[in-house]
Structure 1
Amino acid sequence: MHSFLVLFVLVGVAIADKCGSNCPSGKCPSCPCGSTRRMLDSATWCSKFTGWNQACCRCIVSKESGGNANAINYNGAKFGYDVGLWQINQYYNWRSCNRGNAPCDPNANLECAKQVWRAGGNSFKQWSTAKLCGC
């Protein structure tokens, strides 16, 4: 019985960790951005677009992905994944900004984030973390 419990726990850990630490909830059915973390400096990436408030951008990247360009979050079958530094949503944004592909590459994620920002009236209101960041 003890061996069965140990095996059950190990299998559970392996399943929960299949995306590495890229899927903090452990509920991602797949790993569109892979299983290796890719930590990037939010200030460097936010400064690649001067149209938005830099402090808000850094805060949003910090809250959304922690600076992990390969971060993913699964929102269920209808809304799919949020991916990358700015956690670009599959349901609302991938088709319009990255030809239907997960914008895991930081440059693609940045371009998508700029589109989302513009669609929000040149604001961060489309991000759920905007209010937490005072944006």
Structure 2
Amino acid sequence: MHRSLKENTSSFSLTTFSVMKTFIFLAVLALCASAVLANTCGGNCPSNDCTNCLCGTSSSYVSISEWCAKFSGWDQSQCQCIVHHESSGNAHAQNHNTNGSNDIGVWQINSVNWGSCSKGRPPCDASSNLACAIQVWKWGGKSFRLWSTCSECGAC
């Protein structure tokens, strides 16, 4: 009987170990799944809700004053304020909106505008984002009123 008890104990230890390994595996899998669902795109999507990383997972910061100065038609301080609030100058910044659209780049150009200003593609580089921003600015009556942050910058 003593030998049988020892065999049962060994069997119990192996079963317990297998259950623990399975539990740890499932816990790690759950953590990975939550990381995929809450996608920050390497920090480019600070809202944590982007469904895909349209501009990748590495940041690309530009000089806000330098890029605003590439267009002389708008008020430079308003432009700098808008860019600071929208993306902090990250050309790869992304925001996924509740209506399913995405805002991309330095000026956070909304996906509804991409067909008119960037051949339907996300304007992830600063040059194409600037070209889109100029168009959107013009559509807004040569103002930043179409940006959600315009009131914070006295630019509506």
TM-score (norm 2): 0.78
Q: Which of 88, 92, 95 in structure 2 is aligned with 1:66?
A: 88
> 1:127 is matched with which residue?
147
Q: Which of 61, 66, 75 in structure 2 is aligned with 1:44?
A: 66
Higher helix share: 2
> 2:54 is matched with which residue?
32
Is the aligned partner of 1:81 residue 2:102?
yes
3-state DSSP of counterpart to 2:41: coil
Provide, for residues 8-61 of structure 1, a one-character-per-residue CA deviation record: whole Å limited to 9, x for no partner: 334423543461100111111111111101111100100000000000000100
Q: How far apart, CA to CA, are the structure 2 residues paired with 1:123 and 1:17?
A: 33
Q: Which runs of 5+ in 1 are unaligned?
A: none
Q: How far apart, CA to CA, are the structure 1 residues paired with 2:32 and 2:153?
A: 38
How many equivalent residue pairs?
133
Provide, for residues 41-98 of structure 1, a one-character-per-residue CA deviation record: whole Å limited to 9, x for no partner: 100100000000000000100100111110001114x54210000000002x101001
Q: Structure 1 vs Structure 2: percent identity of aligned residues?
A: 47
Q: Which amino acid aligns with 1:45?
A: W
Is the aligned partner of 1:112 residue 2:135?
no
Q: How far apart, CA to CA, are the structure 2 residues paired with 1:12 and 1:79?
A: 20
Q: Which of 54, 58, 78 in structure 1 is aligned with 2:76?
A: 54
TM-score (norm 1): 0.90
Q: Which runs of 5+ in 2 are unaligned?
A: 1-19
Larger radius of gyration: 2
**Larger RCO, structure (CA 8 Å, separation 6 or more):** 1
